[in-house]
Every structure is written in structure tokens, then in C-alpha cells.
Amino acid sequence: MNQIVQKKRIAEGINLFEIEAPLIAKKRKPGQFVIIRIDETGERIPLTIANADKEKGTITIIVQVVGKTTEHLGTLNSGDSILDVVGPLGQPTHIERFGTVIAVGGGVGHAVCYPIARGMKDAGNYLISIIGARTKNLIILENETNAFSDELYITTDDGSYGRKGFVTDQLKEILDSGKKVDLVLASGPAIMMKFVCLMTKEYGIKTIVSLNSIMVDGTGMCGVCRVEVGGKTKFACVDGPEFDGHEVNYDLLLKRLATYKEEEKLAYDKFMLKTKDK
């Protein structure tokens, strides 16, 4: 069960896994995620379902190495299995024909944006994609996104590829061009989503963000993923993960994401030491 049928390194420190999960593949909709646990001593982490193949019965997840669990995942290969994969969780994206939609994906956050953007395109929207990253070899899914986007822009912080600057620079240019934009989607680091939303609020454009809170069960049972949206407490796992970006308290999100910083480092260092010994 949950066997990895394909593993591909798609950028520096970013792997794509295609996993056998026929029931999830059949049910999932854009915007939903799975929770995985690699082995008996593993933790439960949420990962967006980037793609699914109903016929093959597989789902695709895209994972950047950021800590122990993702590092460990990166050591797995085609043929290996993941102990637990549960989903599809979360509310699917509300997809309809809005008109013109801009999808902004930052770093590995573009893996979250990607299925939603595709859903928007399939629903008949004019789709503009912006993919941003720190540097060229962190850009993911460029060709795949290009295949269905009406316009595609790349930005890198260091200018090694595409436009030099942040996704917000590109976004501003489009918004200033006078084009009528009906909806913006944003997914990436909390700080990026915050700045995208500050900008789109100014322009009065509805913006949906997908939040990457810490989760345990993913079914609304524990409340660790709670976020403040419009001053109200919401659970990202069952009420989200997508919310009205203009209403989200990003500072709180950032602080809550940092809850286990020290423990995460400890677990990572311990894992690296162990793998080095081998």
C-alpha cells in the first residue's frame, strides 16, 4: 500500500513523488491535501495533492526538504512505501469561471497553486501564472504550468532566471497594466502571501490563499492548525486550507508555524547524524 511508483528530483532539494493511492486519486479535488506518516516513529505532515491520475490510481505530491520528515522522505525511492497516507482532506477550491485569474506560486508553494490554477483554466478562466523563487534551480513545474497558462511569468530574487525581484513586482505590473483581474490565488511562504494580499487589497481584488499550518490529525480534532480569519478562529484542516487572503492574520500564522522550531532542528540534526553514520 502507498507505494511510490515514481520519484523525480524536480529542483534543488525538491522531489516529486507519485504514490499509489487509488481511492484518494478518485476522490480528490484541486485544493485538497493528504496527511502522511512515513513510518512507525514518524510524525504526521500535511502535503498538497499536486496531481492525480484516476486511471493509474496515483497521486502526486511535491516536497521540499525543510526538516527531518521531508529529508527522510527524500531518501525514499520508487518501490518504497509510505506507511500512512490519508485523505483527501480539506475543502476543495471553489472553482468557477471568474474571468481572469492570476495564480501566484512562491517556491514549493507553487505545487499547491498548480492544481488549483489548472482547475481554474479548465473552468474557462483566462489564466495568468506567476512562479517565483529565490533562485533559478528552485523554480518548479515551469513547463507543466506553461502548458495550460495563457500567460506565464517567472521571477527570481537573485535574477538568475526570469525577472529579477519578487512575485509581487510582477503582480503589480500586471495590475497596473489596467487589465481587469477577477481573482488572485496565492500560495507560498506566509510572508509572500501576506505581501500579495496587502497589494491586492489595495487594488480591491479578491484573493484566495492556501495556508500551510502545522497539523496533526487533519480532521478538525486537535486544533493546532487554528488561524484567525476576519478575527474569527478557523481550523485550516477542515475550514480551509483556503481562505480569503485579505482576512488572514499572517503574523499569527508565522508565529504558530515557528512553535517547534528548536525541536524541528533537533530532530533534523539527529536524523542527519544517523544517516551520516550509515
Partner 1 sequence: MGEEKKKKKKERAPRQEMTRQDPKKRIMNFNEVALGYSEETAVIEASRCICCPKPKCVDGCPVLVDIPGFIKLVQERKFVEASKMIKETNVLPAICGRVCPQETQCEIVCVLSKIDKPVAIGRLERFVADYEAAAGEIEMPSKPEPKGKKVGVVGSGPAGLTVAGELAKMGYEVTIFEALHKPGGVLVYGIPEFRLPKAIVAREVDFVKKLGVELKTNFVVGRIATVEELFEQGYEAIFLGLGAGLPWFLNLPGINLVGIYSANEFLTRSNLMKAYLFPEYDTPLKVGEKVVVIGGGNVAMDSVRTSIRLGAKETHIIYRRSRKEMPAREEEIENAEAEGVIFDFLVNPVEFLGDNEGRIRAMKLLRMKLGEPDDSGRRRPIPIEGSEFEYECNTAVIAIGQGPNPLALSTMKTLKLNKWGYIEADWETGKTSMKGVFAGGDIVTGEATVIEAMGFGRRASIAIDKYLTTEEW
Chain residues in the site for partner 1 (CB under 8 A): 23-24, 27, 37, 41-44, 68-69, 83-89, 216-217, 219-224, 226-228, 233, 238, 251-252, 255-256, 258-260, 263-264, 266-267, 270
How many other C-beta atoms are found inside a 10 Å radius of the C-beta of residue 264? Answer: 16
Give 71 or 182: the residue with its C-beta nearer to partner 1: 71
Smallest separation (angstroms) from partner 1 to the CB of 74: 15
Side-chain-side CA neighbours of 243 within 13 Å: the count stands at 30
Closer to partner 1 by Cβ: residue 6 or 233: 233
For partner 1, the closer CB: 66 or 83: 83
Report the nearest approach of partner 1 to the CB of residue 209 (Å). Answer: 17
Minimum distance, C-beta of residue 89 to partner 1, in the bound complex (Å):
6
User: What span, in angstroms and rounded, lies between the C-alpha atoms of 91 and 82?
Assistant: 24
**Total residues found in the chain within this entry:** 278
Task: Please give the Cα distance from 223 to 239 (Å, whole number).
Answer: 11
Query: Strands across the sheet with 4-11, in order?
Result: 4-11, 14-20, 58-64, 51-53
CB of 152 to partner 1, least distance (A): 33
**Nearest in space to 82 (alpha carbons), one of 50, 35, 48:** 35
- Closer to partner 1 by CB, 144 or 217: give it: 217
Nearest to 104 by CA among 173, 206, 191, 188: 188
Residue pair 5/13 in contact (Cβ under 8 Å)? The answer is no
Beta carbon of residue 58, minimum distance to partner 1 (angstroms, whole number): 15
- Comparison of 65 and 171: residue with beta carbon closer to partner 1: 65
